[in-house]
């Protein structure tokens, strides 16, 4: 049966992972922090699905909501409203600082970023968009045009007016202070000098993540986000924060921007909002929403304001609040980073451990002094982890080593984190002796 499965998959499925390939396991079911294969293997999921299943897989409250809502009201004409939709909008607004009161419910992160960029362009009457050179905001037109980490080549022109600025990477600084630390203020000044030289004076928005996830789990330095907001506002643009992966308790706070005290003009949520189901949101102020409406804002999709996933979103908020998962993520994240640093003491190929809450990055290098990338090592360790029962995701970008993007469920236990740390430690011990710096 497995042979026919892979024969059918290879024959009929479009390969959509770039140069990568499908994980060669047939997944039959998932529960909590684990996925289970057709041949009976149990894999600890250190990615929460696609960085989304913050309550673990098949959470009983989510399952019950889906069963009840699907039997009652699952889908409507897009111009109709239901109680779950209005309730979720009210509760999201209540969880956010003023003036973020207006909510649009969609399906994916790309779609929410598409809507946010479209809204910003309409409201400002401008078209230029700034994002980071390590950014990932989605695969639809405007979102893909603001994505620079991968996927740009071969598809023709991107949307006009898109600009990349350097990513403030403290582990690999390009502008440095006398002590060698990242001089993000000088880097930011340089970024906008470059932008101003190329801009036609039509900045609509800057879209960034508080922690770049696909960009290598790069946390913006404290103070950076406020300074970036000021630069954008000075030029008449809006600040869009993409919290697909940082929103809803993942970082140890309800929203990643809370640490910096910066309220975006437009906020996008996705992955974590549906805890694995296709649910996303755009949240903005009444003033921006009013201006957009006056100008005829149009984002009419098949699954806008769908009641089934909105009901799930309400259940996700229920569990996050009742179980105080923001506090749990902060506690477990500190525990996980401590364990990863202890692994780093045993394995010199661990160059850096970073992140907030349960969004953690571990970067592998050939040697710590030069920080020379170790791409092949990252891929090999990922494969060995899978053999040992741990699903890991490694991000490999030019100029960086393999960066493990570790995002366990917020419902994880200490024992599950210990198991993941044990397997990663063993995988490094098994694989590293096969590699030497000159073979990378």
**Is 242 assigned a catalytic role?**
yes
Asked if residues 364 and 401 have their Cβ atoms less than 8 Å apart, the reply is yes
**Is 121 assigned a catalytic role?**
no
Catalytic residue, chosen from 183, 242, 260, 363, is 242
Catalytic residue, chosen from 187, 245, 328, 440, is 245
Kind of pairing, strands 266-269 and 211-212?
A: unpaired
Structure tokens at 112: 């929410």
What is the C-alpha separation between 68 and 17, in angstroms, rounded?
35
Catalytic residue, chosen from 121, 134, 271, 337, is 271
Catalytic residue, chosen from 229, 354, 384, 405, is 405
Give strand pairing partners of 32: 57
- Under DSSP, the state recorded for 277 is B
Catalytic residue, chosen from 45, 136, 253, 254, is 136
CA end-to-end span of the chain, whole Å? 38
Long-range CB pairs of 257-262 (<8 Å, 24+ gap) are 257/210, 257/225, 259/210, 259/222, 259/356, 260/210, 260/220, 260/222, 260/223, 260/224, 260/225, 260/226, 261/226, 262/225, 262/226, 262/229
Alpha helices in 82-153 (DSSP H): 83-94, 109-124, 141-145
**Is 136 assigned a catalytic role?**
yes
Kind of pairing, strands 203-208 and 403-406?
A: unpaired
**Is 153 assigned a catalytic role?**
no
Catalytic residue, chosen from 209, 289, 326, 416, is 209
Kind of pairing, strands 350-356 and 394-395?
A: unpaired
- Residue 24's CB is within 10 A of a number of other CB atoms, namely 10
What is the C-alpha separation between 393 and 45, in angstroms, rounded?
10
Nearest to 116 by CA among 201, 207, 202, 52: 207
Q: Which residues are catalytic?
A: 136, 209, 242, 245, 271, 405
């Amino acid at each position: 049966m497995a042979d026919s499965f892979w024969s059918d998959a290879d024959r009929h499925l479009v390969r959509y992972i770039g140069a990568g390939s499908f994980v060669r396991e047939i997944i039959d079911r998932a529960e909590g922090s684990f996925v289970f294969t057709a041949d009976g293997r149990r894999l600890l999921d250190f990615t929460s699905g696609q960085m989304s299943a913050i309550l673990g897989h098949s959470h009983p409250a989510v399952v019950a909501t889906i069963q009840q809502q699907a039997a009652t009201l699952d889908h409507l004409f897009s111009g109709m409203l239901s109680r779950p939709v209005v309730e979720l909008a009210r509760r999201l607004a209540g969880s956010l600082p003023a003036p973020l009161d207006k909510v649009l419910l969609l399906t994916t992160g790309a779609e929410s970023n598409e809507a946010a960029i479209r809204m910003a362009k309409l409201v400002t009457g401008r078209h230029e968009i700034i994002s980071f050179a390590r950014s990932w905001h989605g695969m639809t037109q405007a979102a893909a045009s603001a994505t620079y980490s991968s996927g740009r080549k071969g598809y023709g022109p991107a949307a006009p007016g898109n600009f990349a600025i350097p990513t403030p990477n403290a582990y690999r600084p390009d502008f440095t202070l006398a002590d060698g630390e990242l001089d993000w203020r000088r880097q930011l000044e340089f970024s906008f000098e470059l932008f101003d030289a190329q801009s036609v004076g039509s900045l609509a928005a800057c879209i960034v993540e508080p922690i770049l996830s696909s960009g290598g789990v790069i946390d913006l330095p404290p103070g950076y986000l406020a300074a970036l907001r000021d630069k954008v506002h000075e030029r008449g643009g809006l600040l869009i924060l993409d919290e697909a992966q940082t929103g809803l308790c993942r970082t140890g706070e309800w929203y990643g921007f809370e640490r910096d005290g910066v309220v975006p003009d437009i906020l996008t949520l996705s992955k974590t909002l549906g805890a694995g189901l296709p649910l996303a949101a755009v949240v903005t102020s009444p003033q921006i929403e009013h201006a957009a409406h006056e100008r005829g804002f149009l984002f009419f999709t098949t699954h806008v304001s769908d009641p089934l996933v909105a009901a799930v979103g309400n259940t996700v908020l229920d569990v996050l609040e009742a179980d105080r998962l923001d506090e749990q993520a902060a506690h477990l994240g500190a525990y996980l980073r401590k364990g990863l640093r202890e692994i780093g003491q045993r394995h010199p190929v661990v160059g850096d451990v970073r992140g907030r809450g349960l969004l953690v990055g571990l970067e592998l290098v050939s040697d710590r002094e030069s920080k020379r990338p170790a791409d092949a090592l990252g891929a090999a360790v990922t494969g060995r982890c899978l053999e040992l029962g741990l699903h890991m995701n490694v991000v490999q970008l030019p100029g960086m080593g393999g960066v493990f993007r570790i995002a366990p469920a917020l419902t994880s236990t200490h024992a599950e984190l210990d198991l993941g740390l044990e397997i990663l430690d063993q995988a490094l011990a098994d694989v590293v002796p096969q590699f030497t710096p000159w073979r990378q």
